[in-house]
Amino acid sequence: MNLKNLTADKLVLLYANRDLSVSEVISSVFDEIDRSDGKIHAFITLCRDRALEEARRTDSRIAAGEPLHALTGVPVAIKDNMAVRDVTTTCGSKMLENYIPPYTATAVERLRSAGAIIVGKTNMDEFAMGSSTENSGFFVTRNPHNLERVPGGSSGGSAASVAAGMSLVALGSDTGGSIRQPASFCGVVGLKPTYGRVSRYGLVAYASSLDQIGPFTKSVRECAQVLETISGFDHYDSTSADTPVDSYLKCLDQPLNDVRIGIPREYFASINGGVDPDVKANLESAIKRYEGMGCKIEEIGLPHTEHAVATYYLIATAEASSNLARYDGVRYGLREGGAGGLNEMYRRTRMAGFGKEVKRRILLGTYALSAGYYDAFYLKALKVRTLILQDFQKAFEKVNVILTPTTPTAAFKIGEKIADPLSMYLSDIFTITCNLAGLPGISVPCGKDSANLPIGMQLIANHFQEALLLQVAHQFEKAGGFGNVSVGM
């Protein structure tokens, strides 16, 4: 059975018509994983026995005439920084290689309550720190479109699993673009919600004021369905927003009459090297397509964009240095003992447990927070973050949605940037402002480059305007036919 061109909504309809059994589908998913994942390396942990047992129980309920839920029997992959009870959660790190949580993340629990079946936990950059999934503590994930290319990061395993047909839906986390950038590289849909829209309970923290959970799917319709399922207030998360959840599916097919789309001049200029010509050409075609659909296109300014990378890497690393202090060899996770006392045990544990990129970011963050540098670096970054938010607020007085490239280039080669951290950091230049401002953003496929690699378009809306964001993305997908990107392997 080929699931690469099948979407979640169509799959549930096939179950309802008794054209497929859940057991048949879940078995075929694991057959595909066995066939393909030896080359792609999307998964760290598989939940084979558990998933097949859930499939059998679901078939029994369907046979008994019980109603189907929104995601009944849909195979889902979970980024390995989200807790799933009794399933190893490693965060892509040797530090947590054997950690098994006693609880399940709220977003994951809501997927399961809607009938979804977890097939496995996906590979990621260690503690979500990276843009290529080359920083995993275990192995490198490869892009299903070209095995010599990265899938993006840090949620590269989740994006690759959907693109390769090893899951129909996946969850990722996005701190500075870690859903949207791999979605662009792998030719799938990826959405980062408004900060607080989806509970962070059970998500292992990287930078707490920036992290958000969101979906990877093949189509915008599936994305809307999954987001509607996982959104909403959660009393376990103090940053969860007590704001009503819209019916995202009902809004998708409304026409785009008089929707105003802003094009930020800074994102297409020569900032940090500008964008690849193929990316620019595809984005210009997308803009013309929107014009043909009746949208009004306006140039806007986001003048503080040039400071976004520096601002992000000060705030994110500062928060990371605080969050990762808990990995001390005492409470849980790896412990490296030996002579030398408590401080020596801390040192040995962290030297053995953390990879190079995680150590680099802890050191950067600790330095930015240290006495004598807090005001000069961290506090100044917080002030610039406010200016970036104000840029967006001013822009949304003129336009409804902002359109940008998701990334400056298509997927780069494995090893190309790993020795140049600054070059790697700049690959997130167009996505990090969303996180700094707490805004929702989505990446949808908008074409391919000369090497036949996917290119993504990013759409950004105001806070809690996911319904509009999904509507605008869905109408483009329908008009352009770029949904359901399949991979021939």
pLDDT in tens, 46-62: 999 999 999 999 999 99
Please tell me the total number of residues recorded for the chain in this structure: 489
Q: How confident is the model at residue 1 (pLDDT cuts 50, 70, 90)?
A: low
Look up 154 and say whether it is catalytic. yes
Residue boundaries of the structural domains of the chain: 1-489
The catalytic position among 178, 231, 427, 443 is 178
Q: How confident is the model at residue 481 (pLDDT cuts 50, 70, 90)?
A: low
pLDDT at 339: 79
User: 311-330, pLDDT tens digit by residue?
Assistant: 999 999 999 999 999 999 99
What is the Cα–Cα distance from 326 to 394, expressed in whole angstroms? Answer: 39
Q: How many angstroms separate the most distant Cα atoms in the chain?
A: 72
Tell me if residue 219 falls in helix, strand or coil.
Answer: coil
Q: Does the pLDDT at position 447 exceed 90? A: yes
Q: How many CA atoms lie within 13 A of 273 on its CB side?
A: 12
Listing DSSP states for 48-87 in one string gives: HHHHHHHHHHHHHHHHTTPPP-TTTT-EEEEETTB-BTTB
Q: Does the pLDDT at position 271 exceed 50? A: no
What is the Cα–Cα distance from 134 to 150, expressed in whole angstroms? Answer: 8
The catalytic position among 21, 136, 154, 199 is 154
Q: What is the mean pLDDT of residues 75-94?
A: 98
pLDDT at 488: 47
Q: How confident is the model at residue 332 (pLDDT cuts 50, 70, 90)?
A: confident
Average pLDDT, the chain: 95
User: 195-253, pLDDT tens digit by residue?
Assistant: 999 999 999 999 999 999 999 999 999 999 999 999 999 999 999 999 999 999 999 99
The CATH number of 1-489 is which of 3.90.1300.10, 3.40.50.300, 3.40.50.2300, 3.30.365.10? 3.90.1300.10
107 contacts 76 by C-beta, under 8 angstroms: no
What is the Cα–Cα distance from 103 to 96, expressed in whole angstroms? Answer: 16
Look up 178 and say whether it is catalytic. yes
Q: Does the pLDDT at position 269 exceed 90? A: no
The catalytic position among 21, 23, 79, 131 is 79
- Whole-model pTM: value is 0.96
pLDDT at 470: 98
Paired with 75 in beta bridges are 117
Q: What is the mean pLDDT of residues 364-376?
A: 93
What's the start-to-end Cα distance of the chain, in Å? Answer: 14
Q: Which residues contact 382 (CB under 8 A, 6 or more apart)?
A: 315
What is the Cα–Cα distance from 42 to 139, expressed in whole angstroms? Answer: 9
Q: What is the mean pLDDT of residues 128-149?
A: 98
Query: Could you say which DSSP state residue 271 is in?
Result: G
Tokens 């001049």 belong to which residue? 265
- The token duo for 243 is 């704001």
What percent of the chain lies above the pLDDT cut of 70?
97
Look up 443 and say whether it is catalytic. no
- The token duo for 207 is 């930078």
Q: Which residues contact 288 (CB under 8 A, 6 or more apart)?
A: none
Q: How confident is the model at residue 489 (pLDDT cuts 50, 70, 90)?
A: very low
Tell me if residue 85 falls in helix, strand or coil.
Answer: coil
How far, in Å, are 281, 284, 298, 311, 467 from residue 287 at the CA level?
10, 5, 10, 29, 20
Tell me if residue 446 falls in helix, strand or coil.
Answer: strand
Closest CA to 455 of 224, 180, 222: 180
